[in-house]
Amino acid sequence: SVQVVVLGGRVVVRHAGQVVADHSLCAGRRQRIVDRSHLAGLVGGPAEARPPRAGLPSPLPDLLRPLAEYEAVAGGTW
């Protein structure tokens, strides 16, 4: 579970009480902000993530899960 807070033009995502993402709020509708470092370790993600921005922690290890764990919960096979 994560907590998402939108306040003061920012979107902050917390997991286990720690900030794992902090973005500016998009100005218009149907827009998105993509931080490629969030894709590190995923299929199709960059080989190496950018170093974390100053003041933000690295992604928490318990957020990095093998697909088999999702398969066990959702059922089916990949």
Domain boundaries, the chain: 3-74
Q: Can you give the pLDDT at residue 6?
A: 92
Return the pLDDT at 63.
64
Please choose, from the candidates 52, 62, 56, the residue with its C-alpha nearest in 3D space to the C-alpha of residue 15: 62
pLDDT 10s digit of each residue in the chain, 78 long?
Answer: 899 999 999 999 998 988 888 888 888 888 888 787 777 766 665 555 455 556 666 656 666 777 777 788 887 665
pTM for the model stands at: 0.47
Give the pLDDT score at 49: 46
Rounded distance between C-alpha atoms, residue 28 and residue 56, angstroms: 26
Q: Residue 20's pLDDT is what?
A: 85
Give the C-alpha separation, 3 to 14, whole Å: 5
